[in-house]
Amino acid sequence: MIGRVAFSAKLSFRRFSSMFARDALLAWRNGQLAVTLAIMGIMILLVVLLPAQIRTKPNEIILDLMEGKPLYRAALASGANMEAFAADDQELAKRLAGSGTAIGIVARENDIGGAAFELRAGADMPDSALALLEASLDELLRIADGRPSAERFPVESLEPAPRPIALNLKGIPVFLIFEAGILGFLLVAVFIFQEKQEGTIRAYRASPAGALAYAGSKTLVFVLLSVLYGAGVIAAGTVMGARPNLAGTLLTLAGASAAITLGGLGFACYFSNLSGWFFPGLGLLLLNILPFFSYANPAFSPWWMNLIPSYPYLRLTESYFFNPAATPSPTLLWPALAWLAALAAFALVSVKAKLLKEGA
Amino acid sequence: MIRVRDLKHDYEGKGSYAVDGVSFDIEDGAIFGFLGPSGAGKSTVQGLMTGLLGLQKGSIDYDGLSIARLGRSFFENVGVSFEHPNLYAKLSGLENLRYFAGLFSGPTEDPMALLEQVGLRDAAKRRAGAYSKGMKQRLVFARALINKPKILFLDEPTSGLDPSTAELIKGLILQKKAEGCTIFLTTHNMRDADRLSDTVAFLNAGKIVAMGSPRELKLQYGAKSVKLERRVNGSVKEETLFPERPEDAARIKAYLDEGCIETLHSQEATLEEIFIRLTGRTLA
């Protein structure tokens, strides 16, 4: 019994290693390794060349035409950036014309001795920006008049405030999942359509190797490509000051790559060529990109975002990359593992039903 | 032994059968020639016999075991050579064979020795995409032999080959037969089928219209005739006579008595002529 199991394992390993060697060689000769390395190079350049912080000039330019320039004096007294003030109407007009996006605020006394403000903007301002501006000007007037500041609400922090993340490092989780989620999905489809076009899949059908070895060898190639790519991007991030949980980040990346490759492989089985796949495939790619927007703007996190495969992997990567002591959150880990299992099952069923049968 | 019974296959499920009631047996170590024009259903039958198409109606048994019960291990002892070369264009000939050899659990042929046998040794390290059509065909044939198969499915194995290479391949087919390999040969080349097959079956519109050894078919469907040339007044005259007709038998005897016959050949119907006679179609 043990001997039979050992023989079976040896045979499976021989078959798998033969297929892996072929797929790896094809990935090299098809230029997939080169594409991955080129994109890795671009991402590394972004990490290295993007600034840690973007310093912006004041976007509001104030012209204080009130008697005694109370706003100007209040700002000066409170140590504010005085570049925000224009000396006269001419300077204001010149600076507004030069900026394009700046907002001009002209303060005058009204008929009853109060302050009136005229806004000069190139476009309509959103209500939220107007409200913020109003609050800022109100605070400035309070300081100028020597009145107490508006009531402040007490703020209690439940956890220590997180360290601000440098801009050039902030994008790294997206850069990492981009390769697995986008390139992996696309490149594995190219691989399968090449085999269909060359007819080699027909030869494979007439061999004893089955769906598991077929899906497994391709997945391993793409996981290794992802890990190689990830290692380069993570190394660049580390050089630029990040202190990631390396094992956690790479394992998450490998899981993401395996899940998306298997999903892409299963999906490609239902199409005969790249042109038939293109629009449905593009739709899925766009769907898989949505979590990137949620990551950039966390306010955009509708409930269904959790149902997109790349979402838990992106959030896990973020957690591991920026927090070396992170323990995986069950609300992210379980969906990630569930996606991996579901997409593996989908790939195996699809390969068996659609690739290993003629005319299916 | 391979036993096929009442095989039917309908691709669209609308009662239009691409293969309709096909039955035959193939003895171990025999070459079974499966002949028919394009669209006759040859590839469908081969697809069903290799399990690549799902069995709808009828039965296919290998040594008494239904193909429906054979798993993928069935392919351990099967070699399939496809009509259209299907190779990894970016792998060399040697890499194509090495990769395929790795898929089998049993002993396999030495890839380089196989390439030598099909005349591709010098091109072993060249990418298959750069091969000519004939070279690709030979490589596909070599790949079918890599696992030392007991059953070979060959689909137009000499298609696109020059005469000397075709002879080489036919020699290898006969060698495999001599080694005990059972061969299912799909072709529309009647000469190849005649020379190689122990049994041939004519397939037309999904049905077998005639089956037997090439000799049996020729005797059954062909008229026995002789073609002779005799000298008459200094010039050579050609005649075809049918010995089973009393008047023609008498003429042949008379010519022999006269001693005027210069050449005398027995005339057999070719398989192609029989096919045309049975179906009204050519094989092209």
Please name the amino acid found at residue A12: S
Give the number of C-alpha atoms closer than 13 A to the C-alpha of residue A186, restricted to the C-beta side: 16
User: Is pLDDT at A20 greater than 90 in this prediction?
Assistant: yes
CB A118, CB A111: distance < 8 Å: no
Residue range A166-190: mean pLDDT, rounded: 91
CB A245, CB A325: distance < 8 Å: yes
> A31: how many CB neighbours lie within 10 A of its CB?
11
| Cα-based distances in Å from A82 to A72, A79, B67 | 8, 8, 88
Closest CA relative to residue B221, chosen from B275, B280, B266: B275
Beta bridge mates, B225: B267
Beta bridge mates, B231: B236
What is the DSSP code (8-state) at residue A125?
P
Confidence of residue A111 (pLDDT cuts 50, 70, 90): confident
Pick B102's closest partner by Cβ from A14, A199, A202: A14
| Residue for token pair 């790559």 | A257
| Residue for token pair 């004041």 | A58
Q: Residue A24, by phi and psi: left (phi above 0), alpha (psi -120 to 50) or beta?
A: alpha
Chain A residue with minimum CA distance to B89: A198
Beta bridge mates, A63: A106
Strands B207-212 and B199-204: antiparallel
Percent of chain B with pLDDT over 70: 99
Interchain proximity B90–A15, CB inside 8 Å: no
CB B118, CB B169: distance < 8 Å: yes
Confidence of residue A1 (pLDDT cuts 50, 70, 90): low
ipTM of the complex: 0.83
| Chain B residues with at least one Cβ partner in A under 8 Å | 11, 47, 50, 52-54, 72-76, 78, 80, 82, 84-91, 95, 98-105, 140, 143, 153
pLDDT greater at residue B109 or residue A156: B109
Tokens of A331: 């609300």
Q: Percentage helix, strand, coil, to 5, in chain B?
A: 35, 30, 35
Q: Does A209 touch chain B (CB under 8 A)?
A: yes
Pick A29's closest partner by Cβ from B72, B90, B105: B90
What pLDDT sits at residue A2? 63
B143 vs chain A: nearest CA distance in angstroms?
Answer: 9
Confidence of residue A57 (pLDDT cuts 50, 70, 90): low
User: Is pLDDT at A70 greater than 90 in this prediction?
Assistant: no
Sheet holding B2-9, edge to edge: B19-26, B2-9, B57-62, B65-66
Q: What are phi and psi of A52, to 5 degrees?
A: -70, -25
pLDDT greater at residue B164 or residue B93: B93
Tokens of A160: 């220590």
Please report, in angstroms and rounded to a whole number, the separation of the first and last CA atoms in chain A: 37
Give chain A's mean pLDDT.
Answer: 87
Tokens of A100: 């394009």
Q: Residue B204, by phi and psi: left (phi above 0), alpha (psi -120 to 50) or beta?
A: beta
Close Cβ partners of A176 (under 8 Å, ≥ 6 residues apart): A229, A230, A233, A234, A249, A253, A317, A321
What pLDDT sits at residue B225? 80
Pick B86's closest partner by Cβ from A14, A22, A198: A198
CB B75, CB B52: distance < 8 Å: no
What pLDDT sits at residue A3? 66
Tokens of A149: 């500041």
Tokens of A240: 């630029």
CB B139, CB B87: distance < 8 Å: yes
Tokens of A327: 């323990």
B192 vs chain A: nearest CA distance in angstroms?
Answer: 24
Close Cβ partners of A223 (under 8 Å, ≥ 6 residues apart): A254, A257, A258, A261
What pLDDT sits at residue B30? 96
Q: Report chain B residues whose CB lies below 8 A from the CB of A29.
A: 90-91
Tokens of A314: 């992106």
What pLDDT sits at residue B268? 76
User: Is pLDDT at B114 greater than 80 in this prediction?
Assistant: yes
Tokens of A206: 């007439």
What pLDDT sits at residue A143? 76
Interface of A with B in 113-172 (CB under 8 A): none
What is the DSSP code (8-state) at residue A80?
-
What would the pLDDT profile of B220-271 be if each residue is shown by its tens digit? 887 778 888 998 888 889 888 888 889 989 999 999 998 889 998 887 778 8
C-alpha to C-alpha distance for A208 and A198, rounded to whole angstroms: 20
Pick B143's closest partner by Cβ from A203, A208, A210: A203
What pLDDT sits at residue A150? 67
- The DSSP line for A62-121 is EEE-STT-HHHHHHHHTT--GGGB-SSHHHHHHHHHHHSS-EEEEEEE-TTSSEEEEEE-
C-alpha to C-alpha distance for A116 and A352, rounded to whole angstroms: 75
What pLDDT sits at residue A7? 65
What pLDDT sits at residue A99? 76
Q: Does A57 touch chain B (CB under 8 A)?
A: no
**3-class DSSP state of A197:** helix
Tokens of B38: 């394009």
Strands B182-187 and B151-155: parallel
C-alpha to C-alpha distance for A77 and A80, rounded to whole angstroms: 8
Q: Does A192 touch chain B (CB under 8 A)?
A: no
User: Is pLDDT at A122 greater than 70 in this prediction?
Assistant: no
- The continuous run of DSSP H or E covering A289 comes out as helix A274-296
pTM score of the predicted model: 0.79
C-alpha to C-alpha distance for A50 and A36, rounded to whole angstroms: 21
C-alpha to C-alpha distance for A204 and B157, rounded to whole angstroms: 19
Please name the amino acid found at residue B97: L
Percent of chain A with pLDDT over 70: 93
Q: Report chain B residues whose CB lies below 8 A from the CB of A21.
A: 99, 102
Beta bridge mates, B3: B25, B61
Close Cβ partners of B259 (under 8 Å, ≥ 6 residues apart): none
- The continuous run of DSSP H or E covering B154 comes out as strand B151-155
Confidence of residue A359 (pLDDT cuts 50, 70, 90): low
- The continuous run of DSSP H or E covering B5 comes out as strand B2-9
Close Cβ partners of B92 (under 8 Å, ≥ 6 residues apart): B124, B125, B126, B127, B128
Residue range A53-80: mean pLDDT, rounded: 80
User: Is pLDDT at A96 greater than 80 in this prediction?
Assistant: yes
Interchain proximity B78–A358, CB inside 8 Å: no
Tokens of B95: 């890499």
- With 0-12 / 13-18 / 19 or more C-beta atoms within 10 angstroms meaning exposed / middle / buried, residue B46 is buried
Pick A198's closest partner by Cβ from B52, B74, B88: B88
Pick A358's closest partner by Cβ from B53, B95, B103: B53
Confidence of residue A239 (pLDDT cuts 50, 70, 90): very high
- The continuous run of DSSP H or E covering B266 comes out as strand B261-267
> A207: how many CB neighbours lie within 10 A of its CB?
24
What would the pLDDT profile of B185-214 be if each residue is shown by its tens digit? 998 888 889 999 999 999 998 999 999 999
Tokens of A83: 């570049």
A357 vs chain B: nearest CA distance in angstroms?
Answer: 5
Tokens of A307: 């149902």
Q: Does A6 touch chain B (CB under 8 A)?
A: no
